Amino acid sequence: MLDFIIKNIYLFSAAGMLSIGHLYDERLAIYNINITLIISIFYFISALLLILKNKTMTISVSKFIFYLFFILLVIINLINWMIFGANDYGIDKFIFFSLIIIPSCYIAIEVLNQQDINKFLWILVGVSTMLLLLGLFNLEDISSFEGGRITAMGGGPIVFSRWMIFAVLVILFNKNKYSKYLYLLIPLFLFMSFTAGSRGPLYAFVIILCLYFLFSFRKNFIKVVVISFLGFTSITTLSLTENDKGVGSQSTSRIFNTSIEAYARVDRIRRSIKLIPKAPFGVGIGNWAQESNKFSDHQHEDTQYAHNIFLELINESGIVVLLLFVILLITILDSSLFLLFFQENYCSVRITFILFSYLLINALVSGDIVDNRLMFIMLALFMSERLSLQKISNA
């Protein structure tokens, strides 16, 4: 009973931390009581108890690489800070990554079982639903948001859009007796994702669906028709909501006009590539803008980043960390693609693979290492499910 309580406290508090994206956020206070502080306390206590209670650890190549990736990222970053210095943005990223993302990944792999993982996914859908409601309540005030785009508590429009699509994917691919009723929420999630005006999450969603339906069109013909209709309805509805408050007009133009911010993204890629030979072992988390400004006339603030997880890793943490991450991907994905397309009976491992694939595609075009926190968590959950499947197969 005690284990059940601790696990549930952890699952809910971890979902809260992942949604907020900070250990402390002064904006989230009710009657002078900061909600993030309370959630952080519950998270740290429950996470510590779960880690201490875990007495067994199985060895596998993928787990070894994953843990070594985390260890080297932390050590190399501290060394780089001694050389290049540190700023508030980098320190905030490093603390959240070290104290939230790394422990959460360890617990996902070593502690959580299949039932816990399934519950956690639905708790995260609950977070998406809460953000959906907050977005709907603030839809009339969208013009007051920067760029006329809906944002999330723990990030900007990109993060908000990811949360919306995350819920859509869980509803579509996670078998549950209530899923068919939740289909009614899909148009709302898609609609709110469009109001964020972020191309990356929506393009990644389309890519995942195209890959899935390409290999299972006949089996999922009805799903193809339904999702196509819902997507068309969401786009049409958003287009019809253009008004003087900026709803619809700015969002749709950003999504379908690829020239918007195109130069800024190309400039980030160029300066990131130029930075590699100058600092092959990285410049430290948060120092990308400071060091890459030397290679461009366009000067970025400290809070800017490469908008590509591979470039961010090699620029800030070095080539060794990036190589470990790439090797990890090759190790876990070599025999897993079939789960996406064919194996309906492996629902739990398939959904974590789909979610990780979706978030990885996102990480290639937008967000920093903390914005991509869900990607690391889904990677850990997928590894856990995959290792469990291998144990069953070998039994």
Which tens digits make up the pLDDT trace of 90-114? 999 999 999 999 999 999 999 998 8
> For residues 7 and 154, which has the higher predicted lDDT (pLDDT)?
7
Distances (CA, A) of 388 to 59, 288, 391, 394: 13, 38, 5, 10
pTM of the model: 0.86
Q: Which of 295, 261, 250, 260 is nearest to 275 (CA)?
A: 295
Q: Directed axis angle between helix 61-84 and helix 319-333, to 10°?
A: 160
Query: C-alpha distances in angstroms, 177 versus 173, 174, 219?
Result: 12, 10, 20
CB–CB of 32/75 below 8 Å?
no
Residue burial 200-230, b: 16+ Cβ < 10 Å; e: rest: bbbbbbeebbeebbeebeeebeebbeebeeb
Question: What is residue 244's predicted lDDT score, i.e. its pLDDT?
Answer: 43
Residue in the block written with tokens 């959950």: 381
Distance between CA atoms of residues 23 and 25, nearest Å: 7
- What whole-number percentage of the chain has pLDDT above 90? 34
As a whole number of angstroms, the distance between CA 227 and CA 134 comes to 24
pLDDT tens by residue, 154-200: 567 788 888 999 999 999 887 777 677 788 888 888 888 887 777 77
**Phi, psi for 311 (deg, rounded to 5):** -65, -40
pLDDT bucket at 243, cuts 50 / 70 / 90 = very low
Give the pLDDT confidence of 115-146 residue by residue, as tens digits.
999 999 999 999 999 888 887 776 665 544 55
- Taking Cα atoms as reference points, which of 323, 196, 201 lies closest to residue 254? 196
Task: Specify whether the CB–CB gap between 47 and 14 falls below 8 A.
Answer: yes
